[in-house]
Amino acid sequence: MVVLVGDARPRGMADVERLARVRYVRESELADALPGADVLFVWDFLSEALAGAWPRAGGPGWVHIASAGVDRLLFPGLVEGDAVVTNSRGIFDEPIAEYVLGLVLTFAKDLHTTVRLQGERRWRHRETERVTGARALVIGTGPIGRAIGRRLSAAGLAVSGAGRTARDADPDFGTVHPVERLDEALGRAHYVVLAAPLTAQTRHMIDSAALGRMRPSARLINVGRGALVAEADLVGALQAGRIAGAALDVFEDEPLPESSPLWDMPNVVVSPHMSGDVIGWRDELVRMFAGNLDRYLSGRPLRNVVDKRLGYVGSQRAPADQRG
């Protein structure tokens, strides 16, 4: 087994090391380590080195990533090959949903302004907004989007979703709008929450045209992928007052460059890609992988198998020649 690490190795790997011969590598060593490996655990889930290091022949039959997003794995060599891909779905759902609810409350109750004014020792009374009855559109109807929908509904918001397939009477969203027909849904929402995967179809889905359809009082919250938003278009919309604010946990370039105007906008909340990272999350990631490794070695169906061409997640039995 190969484990791709960044600055630090994962802790709590004793159970994994009892089940397999483990080699920890950095990006510069990855290409040499992959041929002949049975399993790849992508611990450094922000790395983009795998596409360039993937062997033309041979290589791991199973690739697991320590994140919910798999866009960095969906390069042609891996998509078109036989390797099974799994992700860490389930660990981040509720923490991200809690984070989004916190951001909605921050905007509605103007908490970010309160903190700023406190730092300036300024006493300035304001009136705030209700969240009860406000309309939220969650773009992305996977597990994270659904957790967000449930959490916002419980707080009194009227929630709808947007995804690949239109439907009514959805248990978490009520109405799900097709992504290709977002115009009316964007125009009705007070909060637009991005929780979609990054694909060729969703890249820059929130551009100047989409922002122009939103209400001037609307806020955009992105906990999906930075490239879902055309960042320059968003900056322009915020500066022109075409939308009321944005809370961004992900960006096209991370860390967000110091030169970005987003840092200094009073109607923008910037956080460093941390919406799903609660105390103990790294240990949970290792436990999930260890459990899946046990399933892999015993020939049972793997959990969180990703349809590499569509991004769907299900379960799949590892082929006999891939069980190590």
For residue 135, what is the enclosing H or E element?
strand 135-139
Report the candidate in 52, 48, 25 with the shortest Cα–Cα distance to residue 37: 25
Name 100's Cβ contacts closer than 8 Å, sequence gap at least 6: 148, 151, 152, 193, 221, 223, 275
CB environment 214-250: b (16+ within 10 A), e (fewer): bbeebbbbbbbbbbbbbbebbbebbeeebbbbbbbbb
Report the candidate in 204, 202, 201, 221 with the shortest Cα–Cα distance to residue 157: 221
Distance CA 71, CA 309 (A): 11
**Amino acid identity, position 195:** A
Q: What are the distances in angstroms from CA 49 to CA 8, 27, 53, 286?
A: 17, 6, 6, 21
Residue 122, classified by CB atoms within 10 Å of its CB into exposed (0-12), middle (13-18) or buried (19+), is exposed
Residue 270 near residue 262, CB atoms below 8 Å: yes
Would you state the structure tokens that stand for residue 222, as one six-digit string? 């992105």
- Which amino acids are annotated catalytic? 225, 254, 273
Name 120's Cβ contacts closer than 8 Å, sequence gap at least 6: none
